[in-house]
Amino acid sequence: MTRILVVEDELDIASVLLDYLRHAGWQAEHIADGRAALARLLADPPDLTLLDIMLPGLDGLSILRQLQPGTTHPVILLTARVEELDRLLGLELGADD
């Protein structure tokens, strides 16, 4: 079964994402803190990560920087930021979308 990690500190947003993912038949897990998410990603990478940029503890861009080179699982960034620079930096750091 496909495992998806939702890294999002806004509980309302995370809850909606988890509901949709689980309804679609995927196994979805939620982590709200950046440091905990990084530890989880390094220890047992999921098949897909939905990663918020603005997180407590460690932001999403810092998490991307610290993932081991050659990480092959896809990462999709979630953000309320509208600056193109933020999106480009995320893609440059290894996000897939």
Q: What are the tokens at 14? A: 């995370």
Task: Classify domain 3-92 at the CATH topology level.
Answer: Rossmann fold (3.40.50)
Spatial separation of the C-alpha atoms in residues 18 and 25, rounded to whole Å? 11
Amino acid at 62: S
Kindly list the strands in the beta sheet with 27-31, ordered across the sheet, starting from the edge strand earlier in the chain. 27-31, 3-7, 48-52, 75-78
CA 8 remoteness from chain centre: 7
pLDDT at 22 over 70: yes
Q: Which helix (H) or strand (E) holds 49?
A: strand 48-52
Query: What residues does each domain of the chain span?
Result: 3-92
- Check residues 45 and 92 and name the one with the higher pLDDT: 45
Average pLDDT for residues 55-81, to the nearest whole number? 83
Per-residue pLDDT reduced to its tens digit, 27-65: 999 999 999 999 999 999 999 999 998 899 999 989 988
Average pLDDT value for the chain: 86
Q: What is the pLDDT of residue 67?
A: 84
Enter the pTM of the model: 0.86
